[in-house]
Amino acid sequence: MKRIITIGREFGSGGRELGRRLSEKLHIAYYDQEIITEIAKRTKMSEEYVRQITESNPTASFPIHIRHTFYSVPNPVFQQCITIYSEQHKLLKELAEKSDCIIVGRCADYILQDSNPFRIFVYADAESKIKRCIERKTEGENLTESQIKKKITEIDRNRAKYYEFFSDQKWGSKENYDLLVNTSNADIKKVAEAIYDYLQDIFK
């Protein structure tokens, strides 16, 4: 049985760390930022621009009546968004075909639905997400707690809009996932160990 795992996650929930730990324990490939790098290479756009598009609210750039029907319109930003999403779609299919893997974000659960992936969604309460962001802040980042909270809200809103725009499904809704993981006040390492044990039965 092919082991394809997708991880949707709220910002600050620890979903990325959970994905890395699971990939190490399962000895399978892990894809996250690598996807941005490859899309940038294929589209000849900068990584920063690709990241900006894939983490933004698409309705700000797309004509409201277009949704996920792809055809030519005289809007260069729209065309670039379509190019990026199309390359993302092809790349995720290639990665899933290539080997067992874990893919974080990128609408992977929807794009790879024909591969019957095990779909995980990771979430946490606001206090835990803020605390995790503070603990993992990069050098030189000096956001206040209020600014971090605002950043989390904005990123999650854009992730939801992006996912819903392309999939016509609700981001984070229990009907769209096989396992919902609440990491509030949780040790991600221990959560990964518990999920690993569970997946051992799933992938027999």
Query: How does DSSP assign 71-125, residue by residue?
Result: ---S-HHHHHHHHHHHHHHHHHHHHHHHS-EEEESTTHHHHTGGG-PEEEEEE--
Q: Is residue 137 part of a domain?
A: yes
| The pLDDT of residue 67 | 47
CB 2 within 8 A of CB 100: yes
Domain membership of residue 204 (yes or no) is no
**Structural domain includes residue 202:** no
pLDDT band at 178 (very low <50, low <70, confident <90, very high): very high
What is the distance in angstroms between the CA of the first residue and the CA of the last residue of the chain?
Answer: 7
Q: How high is the pLDDT of residue 64?
A: 41
Give the model confidence (pLDDT) of 140-167 as tens digits: 778 889 999 999 999 999 999 989 988 8
Residue 118 contacts by C-beta under 8 Å, 6 or more apart in sequence?
A: 3, 4, 5, 6, 178, 179, 199, 202, 203
* Residues 12-57: tens digit of each pLDDT: 999 999 999 999 999 999 999 999 999 999 999 999 989 888 877 6
In a domain, 104, yes or no: yes
Using DSSP's 3-state secondary structure scheme, residue 1 falls into coil
Question: Length of the chain in residues, anyone?
Answer: 204
Q: Name the token pair of 158.
A: 């854009």
**Token reading at 91:** 């790349």
Q: Does the residue 201 lie in any domain?
A: no
Does 65 have pLDDT greater than 80?
Answer: no
The answer to the question of residue 46 being in a domain is yes
Residues 86-108: tens digit of each pLDDT: 999 999 999 999 999 999 999 99
Distances (CA, A) of 84 to 36, 102, 133, 162, 179: 9, 21, 28, 13, 28
Q: In this structure, what CATH number is given to the domain that contains residue 34?
A: 3.40.50.300
Query: Is residue 59 situated within a structural domain?
Result: yes
| CA gap 89, 91 in Å, rounded | 6
Does a structural domain hold residue 203?
no
> Is residue 109 within 8 Å of 166, Cβ to Cβ?
no
Domain span at 121: 4-196
| Number of domain units in the chain | 1
Query: Would you state the pLDDT for residue 148?
Result: 93
